[in-house]
């Protein structure tokens, strides 16, 4: 059996998830968040009910996220 340390993977994923959720929250409030890569403003798009996406005009940042109420 090979042991894999999932704790580190999960921690990173959780941090990434929280970071993405914060970005979407800020944009939803009308704040401007810039893409880390191209420094263009990120825009919020609603993909479907309860699911939102954030992307920059160049497409180097693309976040799709299901939002809880």
* Positions in the binding site for Zn ion (CB under 5 A): 35, 37-38, 56, 58, 60-61
Task: For the CB of residue 56, give the shortest distance to Zn ion in the complex, in Å.
Answer: 3
The nearer residue to Zn ion, 33 or 52, going by C-beta atoms, is 33
Q: 24 with 54: CB under 8 angstroms?
A: yes
The nearer residue to Zn ion, 10 or 16, going by C-beta atoms, is 16
Q: Tell me the CA distances in angstroms from 47 to 39, 51, 55, one per residue in order.
A: 23, 6, 12
d(C-alpha 52, C-alpha 10), whole Å: 23
Task: For the CB of residue 42, give the shortest distance to Zn ion in the complex, in Å.
Answer: 8
Q: 30 with 15: CB under 8 angstroms?
A: no
The nearer residue to Zn ion, 52 or 61, going by C-beta atoms, is 61
Residue nearest to Zn ion (CB): 35
């Amino acid at each position: 059996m090979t042991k894999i340390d999932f704790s580190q993977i999960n921690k990173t994923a959780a941090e990434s998830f929280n970071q993405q959720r914060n970005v979407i929250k800020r944009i939803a409030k009308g704040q401007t968040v810039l893409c880390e890569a191209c420094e263009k403003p990120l825009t919020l798009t609603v993909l479907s009910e309860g699911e939102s996406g954030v992307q920059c005009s160049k497409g180097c940042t693309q976040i799709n996220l299901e939002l809880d109420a």
